[in-house]
Structure 1
Amino acid sequence: MNMMQRMALACGMSLLLAGAVQAEDWQLAKDEQGIKVYLSSVPGSKYKAYRGVVDIKADVQAINALQEDVQGSCAWIHACAEMRLLKGNGDEAWTYSKIEMPWPVTGRDLVLHVKTDKAADGSIVRHLQAEPKLVPEENGQIRVPKLVGEWKMTPKGPGVTEVVYQVQTEPGGSIPSWLANSFVVDAPFNTLHDLREKAEKGR
């Protein structure tokens, strides 16, 4: 690895770690159907970070397979209108997605860099970071300028996986406060609900 590559890697990890530590004061916002959603204020941002936690009766590999089906995952990700793989390289992938917004709010699109780490205990962590300049912006969409987050899947016993989904984002443009407040709860709750349904149905 040359000096430029090391610097780029260090910068990338710094951004990921910065996103993770800025949201620390987690408060429970919803606890229903075995899914817990926590919110945290983020210094310098008017948008709250969210974290959803759920136990799914499926093994890590089954849940990971659903996430690696990029196009198919749009069916269970909240407000997803379209998702496709831009490129992949080993444990790294870049995806493009469109996010539905209620009228009259303009829809968003998102270019995401996904880095997957696998641990010896069988857990998987998928790091998420927006790369808004990777592909040209599309007409009729507002590009999400910043997103940092992660998926964490940890085996809890035979056939049971704890899934944690955490995101901090700046959606770009103007978002009404009522929509922003509902989205940060609905996004993790509905995503984990539908992922669980899909994973457990496939058992």
Structure 2
Amino acid sequence: MSSLHRIALACGLTVLVAGVAQAEDWQVAKDEDGIKVSLSDVAGSKYKAYRGETVINASMAKVRSFQEDVAGACKWIHECKSQKALKREGDQVWTYTQFNTPWPVTPRDSVLLVTSVNGADGSLTRKLEGQPKYIPEESGFVRVAAVDGFWKFVPKGPNQTAVTYQVHTEPGGSVPSWLANKFVVDAPFNTLKALKEVAEK
């Protein structure tokens, strides 16, 4: 990737991270087991954005290895049924994920473009951008209409990494309010808890 392209990506991620943080009013919804989950209203959407934060007692390299194992990551992503990489190109990977949902809600699937940017401070940011039209829809699934978010990993020492996981999703189709409200807390909390467990072994 060219230096200019890297700079453009870095600037874009800075705008994303700073813009969302400044524009939204985050309220803590859950804080336990060393994991804090905050929620925020999003203009024009009935679904809240969520942000999960924790510190994992493992090196950046180890945490990153779990992130980059696309199929294996399904073991710790909340309600993930299966996940695979569709395409890799430089610092970008397109992923396809199928999710479990409680009856009678139709299972969801999503296509994401994940763009990784290494910061000068040793941090790693992985921007998550929904690509719902990238492949044809699968029978038996409702395609997630929009995803906008990021993972950010910041080394805090040789064996400690601060992790932020922030996402806003438009799930597509009809989703009961009770499930939507539960998902925005459970998704970041359970995902980070499971990632901590596997990374700290």
Q: Secondary structure of the residue that 1:116 maps to in structure 2?
A: strand
Deviation at 1:90, TM superposition (A): 1.3
Residue 9 of structure 2 corresponds to residue 21 of structure 1 = no
Q: Secondary structure of the residue that 1:70 maps to in structure 2?
A: coil
Fraction of identical pairs, as percent: 57
TM-score by length of 1: 0.89
2:127, 2:67 → 1: CA distance? Answer: 13
Change (3 A) 1:171 1:109: same
Pairs within 5 Å for 1:1-203 = 13=12, 17=16, 21=20, 24-201=24-201
Unaligned runs of 5+ in 1: none
Q: Which runs of 4+ in 1 moved over 2 A?
A: 16-23
Deviations 1:84-131 (A, max 9, x none): 000001110000000110000000000000000001221100000000
Paired amino acid for 1:68 = E
Change (3 A) 1:171 1:19: farther
2:60, 2:103 → 1: CA distance? Answer: 37
Deviations 1:14-41 (A, max 9, x none): 9x83995286100000001000000000
Deviation at 1:55, TM superposition (A): 0.3
1:53, 1:19 → 2: CA distance? Answer: 16
TM-score by length of 2: 0.90
RMSD: 2.1
Q: Secondary structure of the residue that 1:74 maps to in structure 2?
A: helix
Paired amino acid for 1:104 = P
Aligned partners of 1:20 and 1:149 also within 8 Å = no
Aligned residues: 192
Paired amino acid for 1:167 = V
